Amino acid sequence: RGCQAPDHAALAEFVRQLRMAAIDANPRLLCGSCCLQRYRDAVYLITNIIAPPPAASLDLAPGTSCAVPGVGTVSLQRAASDGLRLTPGDRLTISWRQGGERCRLPGCGGSRSLKKLLQEWDVPPWWRDRVPLLYLEGELLAVGGLACCASSRWRTAAREGEQLWNLSWERPVGAG
Segment 51-106, tens digit of pLDDT: 678 888 999 999 999 999 888 899 999 998 899 998 888 899 999 999 899 999 98
Q: Report the alpha-carbon distance of residue 140 to residue 123 in Å, rounded.
A: 19
- Candidate ranges 15-19, 45-49, 107-111; pick with highest mean pLDDT: 15-19
Q: Lowest-pLDDT range, 25-34, 44-53, 156-165?
A: 44-53
Segment 124-142, tens digit of pLDDT: 888 898 899 999 999 999 9
Say if residues 32 and 45 touch (Cβ distance below 8 Å).
no
The H-or-E segment that residue 8 falls in is: helix 8-20
Average pLDDT of the chain to the nearest whole number: 88
What are the residues facing 68 on neighbouring strands?
A: 72
- Please name the amino acid found at residue 173: V
